[in-house]
Amino acid sequence: MAESLFTPIAYLKGIGPQKAELLKKELQIETYWDLLNHFPFRYINRSQIHQCAQLHLVDGHVQLEGFIDQIQELGGGRSKRLQCRFTDDTASIQLIWFQGWKYIKPALSTGKKYRIFGKPRLNNNFWSIAHPEMVPADESSSIGYQPIYPSTEKLSAKGLNTRGIEKVMGGLLERISLESMQDRLPESIRKEMHLVGIGMAYANIHQPQTEQSFNQAKKRFVFEELFLLQLEMILRKGVRKRTEKGFVFSKSGEILSDFYHNKLPFDLTEAQKRVIREIRKDCQTGQHMNRLLQGDVGSGKTLVALITMLIAQGNKFQSALLAPTEILSAQHYETIVSFLSDLPIRCALLTGSTKRSNRTPLLGALEKGEIDILIGTHALLEDEVVFKNLGLVVIDEQHRFGVAQRAKMRKKNTIAPHVLVMTATPIPRTLAMTFYGDLDVSVIDELPPGRKPIQTIHRYDTHRLQLYAFMREQIALGRQIYVVYPLIEDSETLDFKSLSDGFEAISRAFPLPNYQVSIVHGKLKPEVKEYEMKRFVDGITNIMVATTVIEVGVNVPNATVMVIESAQRFGLSQLHQLRGRVGRGAEKSYCILMTNYELSKEAKKRMETMVETTDGFKIAEVDLSLRGPGDILGTQQSGALNLKMADLSRDQHVVSIAREAALRIYEQDSSLTDPLHLTLRNYMLSLFQNKPQWDKIA
């Protein structure tokens, strides 16, 4: 008779209490169910065996069959290692272990035939494989795929290496009944997507017999993971909409109307209008708005923010606008004050460098409700910043703020103020669906009219003289120029050197009194930074030499050239952000990427992409395929990246299909109470039992 999936793992043949304890500690495997869900991370195609003499023809991992005919311990102390000679009919290579060899050595024997798997490297004309996976040749059958399971050193020492786990898994599959397992994916969806059932999928993920059956199992799990993730997002959003109350902004107010009709110096783009309608609709319902506004650099998000803040003001609420840097906050403040001109709206700026003598009266006025719009940096998060009636929080460049910081702003009123987060770092649609799937998303997909496209050029360092000549031409035309150097935290000193060397070189090539050069970097005092920045904004300096502190938000329409030094060291989205600092005025603009000749394949692709397109969303797609989602979203969201089979860059098309399927289920049965969805519901509850919001649907 088949055993329950909740049986403790210790009851399994070959496990026992000691190994069970270790499995729990090392891999959090306690029950049959946990073990069943411990998936291989790779498979070896057992039908293909390479030859030692042919390694130069293979890219990546290889599988070899042969004998170990020499075992040596080499080096001493920390560089101690185990080295073996491995020989097949054609040639010999080396196998090397730097760690764990204490366990490995006793298990190896000369004269025995092994099947090994690993990635060969060529060193001094000799091939070697470090830390190969290996099994005795007679234990590996030569059909189908051999699964490789994640394990740990301690487990391997107790015989639970990948091979050991494979054996135990074999025992498990004999004792449970996969055929009678309830399928958590509703049948309608399985049929529609042509997916195999859950029993078949588990069997073939652990013991694939053919490439085809393995692919079917994989397809099923990839879809399932993405489907569940989407369904979770949709359910969370549903819960949030039903339960979270928000302020009602029902009026539009005279000031907004005056601003719109008399003060706005240009027409809004259609995209801006659409987004404002979306925001307005959100804020009228009595539900809480939690909206992400994505729009490429220069698409006019600030104005959308301002209009939203005027809507709040028209309904007697205060607003806060949060920006990541002092420069950006100050610029927002100035932009907004000049947009508003003589309208009776009271704005204030609060940053870390606001003096106590200004701060105290400002905070007093804020608490009395005498300030309508407060703009500033992280300083706004402080407890001493108390609003009379905060109704809206706008967060610019949201990726610079953490979840905790956003939460802090939400607590500044009895009901959470509406939240509008803005980002100029476009996120590919599929990622946005996955990670911001519980937010409402608006997109400004149109730039204001009259912008001249930016021409992007890639040049090697040896062309610096031509670059300087071009810069002189532009300055002679009255334009201004940014020259940006990389700044990466762990090599700050080095980068500082390249920045100050660069500054010197440029000062020499562009000498006083004909030219004025500014320098701005993170180590400067805020006052100095501000002063230098202002000289550039006011058109006094021709060239701004800077680190990426100018990356976000700064707006100087007369600047037409962005030179990026050591451009290979920047990521795509950063390059795109930097480029967005130019092309803001009526004149044609240029972005010049300076690199050396030695570019990695990836760096080359980044340069090519920048030269080819200025579309932020396209750039984001390439970025995703180059770096993978983890690097793009940062570690903050990595919890949600707990996908075993699905890969968000490879499986982008599945994300959309899975979302549609999840939406359909939600529309039919938003509480998952239909008996057809019972297994799905229970499965989701078990997956998400530690996540608080979910149980509200129960």
We find the least distance from the C-beta atom of residue 655 to Mg ion, in angstroms, to be 28
Position 424 contacts ligand ADP (CB under 6 A) = yes
How far apart are CB 425 and ligand ADP at their closest, in Å?
11
Query: Residue 614 CB, nearest distance to ligand ADP (Å)?
Result: 13
Residue 680: CB minimum distance to ligand ADP, A: 41
144, 298, 428, 553: residue in contact with Mg ion (rule CB under 5 A): 553
Q: How far apart are CA 646 and CA 656, in angstroms?
A: 13
Answer for the pair 590, 561: CB distance below 8 angstroms, yes or no.
Answer: yes
Return the one option of ligand ADP, Mg ion, none that residue 268 interacts with (CB less than 5 to 8 A, by type).
ligand ADP
Residue 396 beta carbon to Mg ion: minimum distance, rounded to whole angstroms: 6
What secondary structure letter does DSSP report for 219?
H
Name which position in 266, 531, 668, 673 contacts ligand ADP (CB under 6 A): 266
Indicate which single residue of 448, 522, 526, 628 sits in contact with ligand ADP (rule: CB under 6 A): 448
Q: How far is the CB of 325 from Mg ion (least distance, A)?
A: 12
Q: Taking CB within 5 to 8 Å according to partner kind, which of ligand ADP, Mg ion, none is near residue 583?
A: none
| Distance of closest approach, residue 424 Cβ to ligand ADP, in angstroms | 5
Q: Figure out which of the listed residues 94, 151, 216, 299 binds ligand ADP, where binding follows CB under 6 A.
A: 299
Beta-strand runs (E) in 328-444: 347-350, 373-376, 390-395, 418-423, 440-444
Q: What, of Mg ion, ligand ADP, none, does residue 541 touch, CB below 5 to 8 Å by kind?
A: none
Q: In the structure encoding, which two tokens stand for residue 553, read together?
A: 């938000």
**Do the bridges between strand 92-97 and strand 81-87 make them parallel or antiparallel, or are there none, so unpaired?**
antiparallel
Q: Which is nearer to Mg ion, 93 or 537 (CB)?
A: 537
CB of 442 to ligand ADP, least distance (A): 12
Length of the chain: 698
Nearest to 297, CA basis, from 439, 434, 163, 397: 397
Backbone phi and psi for residue 632, each to the nearest 5 degrees, phi listed first: -75, -40
Query: Taking CB under 5 A as the rule, does residue 144 contact Mg ion?
Result: no
Q: Is 558 in the site for ligand ADP (CB under 6 A)?
A: no
Is residue 310 a contact partner of residue 340, using CB atoms and an 8 Å limit?
Answer: no
Cβ atoms of 36 and 9 within 8 Å: the answer is no
For position 324 contacting Mg ion by CB under 5 A, the verdict is no
Residue with tokens 């003598």: 357
Out of 300, 324, 486, 583, name the contact with ligand ADP by CB under 6 A: 300
Q: At what angle do helices 616-627 and 572-579 cross, to 10 degrees?
A: 160
User: Any contact of residue 269 with ligand ADP (CB under 6 A)?
Assistant: yes
Which CB, 35 or 256, lies closer to ligand ADP? 256
- Residues 637-696 touching ligand ADP, rule: CB under 6 A, are none
DSSP 8-state class, residue 54: G
Do the Cβ atoms of 590 and 599 come closer than 8 Å?
no
Query: CA of 394: how far to CAs of 157, 339, 389, 441, in Å?
Result: 55, 17, 15, 14
Of 291, 479, 584, 677, the one binding ligand ADP by CB under 6 A:
584
Residue number of the CB atom closest to ligand ADP: 300
Structure tokens at 634: 């940062």
Q: In what order do the strands lie in the sheet with 517-520?
A: 454-460, 589-595, 559-564, 480-484, 543-546, 517-520
Residues forming the site for ligand ADP (CB under 6 A): 266, 268-269, 272, 295, 297-303, 424, 448, 555, 584
Residues forming the site for Mg ion (CB under 5 A): 553
